[in-house]
A and B are shown apart, each in its own frame.
With several copies, the nearest count.
Chain A
Amino acid sequence: MKTEEQLEAMRRMLRIRRFEEAVMDIVRKGQGIAGAVHICVGQEATIVGSCLALRDDDFMVGYHRSHGHPIAKGAQLRPLMAELMGRRTGVCRGKGGSMHLADFRVGSLGETAIVGAGIPQAVGAAYGARLRGTDQVALCFFGDGAANIGSFHEGLNLASLWSAGVVFVCENNRYAMSTALADTMAAGSVAERAASYQMPGTIVDGQDVISVFEAVSMAVERARAGEGPTLIEAHTYRYRDHAEYGNLKLSHRPEDEVEEWRRRDPISVFSAQLLASGVAEEELREIEEQVAAEVADAVAFAKASPAPDPDELFDDLWATPLEVH
């Protein structure tokens, strides 16, 4: 990674962090984000390191914990925040909400609330790119909980058969809701399951944005060259509980485990690395300030945006509504 890219990585990680903090703040204060939100704070290095390995016209598929993923792919914050608040200016016009922050302008093909279901969809996007004669690659994120569902098996097998240009990134944060991966997966690691599909599988430190970037870049290169898919398992951690449940203290995780991971916070670690490599403190502060302003602007925009009109209820159900009804 060149310095410029490193600074961009820093900027995007911060964008995600501050965005998520703003979301938590709004939820806590009951200021207009309804429904469940799954916060990805702690996982920024995996998300950003992966997305920065892509071209702008490449595809990315997220999952339920994916506020950060479109941001990492380059999406603007205003429509994302407006979506979370259910406004008509939202990126999905208020129809999708927290678990469905698609932004097709930046190749973000959407997110699904059904664990594992995005996997074959990403494979299809890569298959389609090949057929349409482009060399676009599809990056597919999912959690460790997805490793035991049928779509994982079918999707990875198809990807390998088709030498599809897809990169699978499993964000292994060790838990699915309250359940530890070790209790539900009869395998030593997610990555080792790659062998069942004759594709490379690697484990990477998901808290180190550069390691992630490098691993995913190699996989993207392979994918773009038509050499097929790769499965990357990033070891990472979410600081928050599965979802935001108000002020209740619910975690089923040992307190010191959370603390341990916080000590390796991907943003703090990377920030220290950047300073050590000669980046000026001021430069980082400037990024901090710009990001804070962007997020504040997005929140203000969202709050000022109107809710959808009742007559928008049926909008976008059909691409070509037929006249018979």
Chain B
Amino acid sequence: MPTMSYRDAIRQAMLEEMRRDPAVVVFCEDARFWTMPTHGFVDEFGPERVPIMPISEEGFTGAAIGAAMTGLRPIVDYTIANLMYVAWDQIVNHAAKNRYLFGGQASVPIVFRAAMKYANATAAQHSDRPYPQLMNVPGLKIVVPSNPADALGLLKSAIRDDDPVVYFEPLRLWGTKGEVPEGEHLVPLGKAAICREGTDVTVVAIGDAVPAALKAAEVLSGEGVDLEVVDPRTLVPLDKATILDSVAKTGRLVIADPAHKTCGAAAEVAAIVAEEGFASLRAPIVRVVAPDVHPPFSPALEALMYPSPARVIAAVQSVAPAELMAR
């Protein structure tokens, strides 16, 4: 299988879909800039499909909605997830709601791309992981790929989907490489991946907490603790069945997520299991998440924010079966 970086996978997905479907357009500031996965797209697809964008996030999000309701399939790239806040009304009050409000007369097939720059010393206004906020809004599908193959396959599915999909990219994964299946690769929305099978503790990990959880699993397997690592990949709709099945097997749940704790994605997973999987739970559910404080600029402090293998290990140790911990 060919190897590809996460960033190139994003680029590849957009390229393939734009070649396949002339209705796909890209709204992105500085789309021609060398750092952007859309670098070179203007040359191939022309300035009509990749227009030069003023700094007008609210405006071009609204324009994407109008275009989407009348036949196009825009990809709106905010380049930094925090910039979605400027366009929040268009995303939350309109993209998510218009189809419902209009009784299904029109769809809003947009992909909102949002790179999350946390762990990069860009401070609070450029480091948010806002997917929990949007998970509270019906009508938006939400995706957080954790590796290049999923980045490619989920983005292609998102572009083809007839609903608005918000596609979150942990920027520190952009440079990571991984194998990508040959030929056309589609990953269905709404299907979790079991990244590692195990029997003792389930770790549900999101975004770049997945590699952290896998490292933790490696370390702990040396200590005789066998983790099952589940990557939901799609947060809305969430593949509850896979999570509940795993907890039914292990009876123990740790959730690792770089987003903030309160009302976060981890809270939702915990609530679902406390509600629908209670009978199988044999220990408290533990959240390994960002504490409820803004990402500080100082790298020394920011290093404390996100799930690390060490934090996952500590959490697992606090809930793993006593007989395993005693060994």
Do the two chains touch directly in the complex (Cβ atoms below 8 Å apart)? yes
A112 and B126 alpha carbons, distance in the complex (Å):
10
A86 and B120 alpha carbons, distance in the complex (Å):
13
Residues of B near A117 (CB, < 8 A) are: 62, 89-90, 93-94
Partner of B163, one of A116, A162, A319: A319
A138→B66 contact, CB < 8 A: yes
Stretch touching chain B among A10-18, A123-131, A270-278, A291-299: A123-131
A95→B34 contact, CB < 8 A: no
A104→B105 contact, CB < 8 A: yes
A120 and B53 alpha carbons, distance in the complex (Å):
13
Residues of B near A35 (CB, < 8 A) are: 120-123, 297
Partner of A102, one of B105, B125, B291: B105
Q: Is B134 an interface residue (CB 8 A)?
A: no
Partner of B190, one of A83, A252, A324: A324
Residues of B near A83 (CB, < 8 A) are: 297
A149 and B68 alpha carbons, distance in the complex (Å):
22
- Interface size bracket, A side: 35 or more
A110 and B55 alpha carbons, distance in the complex (Å):
21
Partner of A95, one of B69, B102, B106: B102
Q: Is A114 an interface residue (CB 8 A)?
A: yes
Q: Is A31 an interface residue (CB 8 A)?
A: no
A110→B98 contact, CB < 8 A: yes
Residues of A near B120 (CB, < 8 A) are: 35
Interface residues of chain B: helix, strand, loop or mixed (majority): loop
- Interface size bracket, B side: 35 or more
- B233 → chain A, closest Cβ, in Å? 11
What string of 1s and 0s marks CB contacts (under 8 Å) between B117-136 and chain A?
A: 00011111110000000000
A189 and B161 alpha carbons, distance in the complex (Å):
41
B296→A177 contact, CB < 8 A: no
Q: Is B277 an interface residue (CB 8 A)?
A: no
Given contacts A59-B70, A317-B99, contact A121 B55 (CB under 8 A): no
Stretch touching chain A among B25-33, B172-180, B197-205, B217-225: B25-33
A120→B66 contact, CB < 8 A: yes
Give the interface centre of A92, A118, A123, A312 by most chain B CB atoms within 10 Å: A92
Q: Is A90 an interface residue (CB 8 A)?
A: yes
Q: Is B83 an interface residue (CB 8 A)?
A: yes
Given contacts A124-B63, A124-B64, contact A319 B99 (CB under 8 A): yes
Partner of B59, one of A102, A155, A318: A155
- B114 → chain A, closest Cβ, in Å? 15
- B151 → chain A, closest Cβ, in Å? 19
What string of 1s and 0s marks CB contacts (under 8 Å) between A15-56 and chain B?
A: 000000000000000000011100000000000000000000
Residues of A near B189 (CB, < 8 A) are: 322
Q: Is A284 an interface residue (CB 8 A)?
A: no
- A9 → chain B, closest Cβ, in Å? 27
Partner of A179, one of B30, B72, B93, B237: B30
Residues of A near B63 (CB, < 8 A) are: 120-121, 123-124, 127, 155, 158
Residue of A nearest to B85 (CB): A114
Residues of A near B301 (CB, < 8 A) are: 86, 94-95, 307-308, 310, 312-313
Q: Is A157 an interface residue (CB 8 A)?
A: yes
B237→A94 contact, CB < 8 A: no
Residues of B near A109 (CB, < 8 A) are: 66, 69-70, 106
Given contacts A35-B123, A127-B67, A131-B48, contact A320 B162 (CB under 8 A): yes
A112→B94 contact, CB < 8 A: yes
A119 and B100 alpha carbons, distance in the complex (Å):
20
Given contacts A95-B123, A121-B63, A177-B30, contact A315 B104 (CB under 8 A): yes
A128 and B62 alpha carbons, distance in the complex (Å):
12
Number of residue pairs across A and B with beta carbons under 8 Å? 293
Given contacts A117-B62, A127-B63, A319-B107, contact A145 B55 (CB under 8 A): yes
Residues of A near B281 (CB, < 8 A) are: none
A157→B102 contact, CB < 8 A: no
What string of 1s and 0s marks CB contacts (under 8 Å) between B133-161 and chain A?
A: 00000110100000000000000000001
Partner of B122, one of A36, A88, A130, A131: A36
Residues of B near A252 (CB, < 8 A) are: 32-33
A130→B304 contact, CB < 8 A: no
B296→A313 contact, CB < 8 A: yes
- A71 → chain B, closest Cβ, in Å? 17
A184→B304 contact, CB < 8 A: no
Q: Is A151 an interface residue (CB 8 A)?
A: yes
- B41 → chain A, closest Cβ, in Å? 14
Q: Is B82 an interface residue (CB 8 A)?
A: yes
Residues of B near A148 (CB, < 8 A) are: 54-56, 59
A149→B62 contact, CB < 8 A: no
Stretch touching chain A among B5-13, B238-246, B247-255, B314-322: B238-246
- A117 → chain B, closest Cβ, in Å? 6
B94→A95 contact, CB < 8 A: no
What string of 1s and 0s marks CB contacts (under 8 Å) between A216-245 and chain B?
A: 000000000000000000000000000001
Q: Is B101 an interface residue (CB 8 A)?
A: yes
9 A-B pairs with C-beta separation under 8 A? A94-B297, A99-B126, A109-B106, A113-B122, A114-B125, A127-B66, A128-B68, A252-B32, A308-B300
Other contacts beyond A95-B100, A121-B62, A155-B62: 18, CB < 8 A: A34-B121, A35-B120, A91-B103, A92-B103, A93-B103, A94-B298, A95-B296, A99-B122, A103-B105, A109-B66, A113-B125, A120-B59, A120-B66, A127-B63, A161-B54, A307-B298, A312-B301, A318-B163
A-B complex: 5 closest residue pairs judged by Cβ atoms: A120-B62, A124-B66, A154-B59, A97-B297, A35-B121
